[in-house]
Structure 1
């Protein structure tokens, strides 16, 4: 506001200066009009004629006329400069007005944030609504992440050895389950997760070979992404009907081990499934499973199934 008042004062002083210049110019112009003294010029046709030298009064009049012409040109330039300056002042006023409006908007936003902070501290309804919105957004993001894994399988329990071929292992597992699997049906197959060693028996010393270390290491899960969800569904159904299948006939060193074929879950859903199974075991609920990456539980046959979306749902369902 101070800058706006200064701008207005400067504009008034500029206008007064312009008025004074105009009055002076008018006065000098009137003086020039009243001066009717003729100016003698030489006759170009009569080269031999005598040229009379101008009198002092004539020279003075000529000087005054030249000064007036210069003053006119300078006045026009000053008038143009003043017009441009007025335009710049107008633009400056508009800019200041815009900044003032922005400052007011920022003040309103800061005030609104302060009010929201106070309501959050007091546990108001707006904070509860915001917390519910955040939880819904987290659930939506989790569902989207899980949808990206709808073509994936996670196979656990298959022994891991150096220089193994995960794609070949996948084909052997499919044959064991009685599902025909073409090489083009497998997008990729790989081990995931860090290696975890099983504690060695006491009394063993010395350096172990890579094969011995791989034998003591807990096998990492084998993740397989399939080109079609139909093949994934066939493998899951076959694994449910053929419980107890093992790695016999795979040509792997060591004794045969059971393996398990499951849906690949996000970290959140894997944690929810673990917590749900722990509660089912504690409260003697009979069923806990996943379908399309969603976690479900049921007390007994004939009861309604409950979907577990978050840790809060575990508290609500199992009470």
Structure 2
């Protein structure tokens, strides 16, 4: 075999070196390709999970909307029941009246006082027209010495309405005129309202004064206000209706 020249040896060495480099490069490229495959698989996995998450999110959103609708329906039912209970409560009070501002005494007879007030308005009324009369609640203690109201339950709407509708006749009548000793105090005939309506009436009374409305009154548990004698009456059902006074 002929002896290799130096040039041939260098060429062979360079060829071997290049082959090694190419092998390393090919291995690196293969590793990158395998890495890309893993990335593609990971991205595909993440994409599947993302789609599953979107489906789950849409289902949860749908469930949430259904729950909101059910909750709103339940709220409406509860509100409707509250109104029915309130209306029933007020209906049971339809033949009642309250007498406010009459001083208390140990010897008093609320029934006699109620009858005297009733006869100031409708002289034809008799004791038999009144079912029962008594002071409301427990005696007040401490600095609050205001007299408790007398609640009067009549035996008919006719008798009750005769007193309530004629209450303007009591404008110049005082507690002395119905046999109460002491100073001559004004007293008032009011409807027997539910706690809800009573609270609303208190708020309306404050706001109507601010708005310059002269009159406020109730009829069958409903609140009315009027700016003056010439203006029409406004009915107040809820706190939102107070905006009508602005």
Give the TM-score category using the shorter length: 0.5 to 0.7
Which segments of 5 or more consecutive residues in structure 1 lack a partner in the other structure? Answer: 1-113, 200-215
For the 8 Å contact 2:98–2:191, the answer to whether it is kept is yes
Between the aligned partners of 2:95 and 2:226, the Cα distance in structure 1 is 26
What is the CA distance between 1:144 and its match in structure 2?
1.0
Counterpart of 1:236?
Answer: 164
The residue number in structure 2 matching 1:163 is: 107
Greater C-alpha radius of gyration: 1
Deviation at 1:298, TM superposition (A): 3.2
Give the whole-Å Cα distance in 1 for the aligned partners of 2:65 and 2:215.
Answer: 43
Secondary structure of 2:133's counterpart equals: strand
Which position in structure 2 is the counterpart of 1:154?
Answer: 98
Render the CA deviation track for 1:116-174: whole Å, top value 9, x for unaligned.
Answer: 994488xx454334323322221121111101111001001111111321111112222
Count of aligned residue pairs for this structure pair: 187
SS at match of 1:196: coil
Deviations 1:219-252 (A, max 9, x none): 1100010011111111112212331311124443
TM-score (norm 2): 0.66
Unaligned ranges ≥5, structure 2: 1-59
Q: Is the 8 A contact 1:195 1:217 kept in 2?
A: no
CA distance in 2, matches of 1:157, 1:143: 27
1:318 offset after TM fit, Å? Answer: 3.7
132 and 285 in structure 1: CA distance in 2 versus 1, 3 angstrom threshold: farther
Report the alpha carbon displacement of residue 197 of structure 1 after superposing the two structures with TM. Answer: 4.2
Q: Check 1:247–1:120 CA distance in 2 against 1; reply closer, same or farther (3 A cut).
A: farther
Corresponding position of 2:188:
260
Question: Could you tell me the TM-score, scaled by structure 1's length?
Answer: 0.52
In the superposition, relative to structure 1, how do residues 193 and 119 fare at CA in structure 2: closer, same or farther (>3 Å)? Answer: farther
- Structure 1 residues 280 and 162: alpha-carbon distance in aligned structure 2, compared to 1, 3 A threshold: same
Q: What does residue 176 of structure 2 align with? A: 248
Which of 177, 190, 195 is 2:139 aligned to?
A: 195
Aligned partners of 2:194, 2:185: CA distance in 1, in Å?
26
* Structure 1 match to 2:216: 288
Quick check: 1:195–1:218 contact (8 Å CA) kept in 2?
no
For the aligned residue pairs, the C-alpha RMSD in angstroms reads 2.7
1:181 counterpart (125, 136, 145): 125
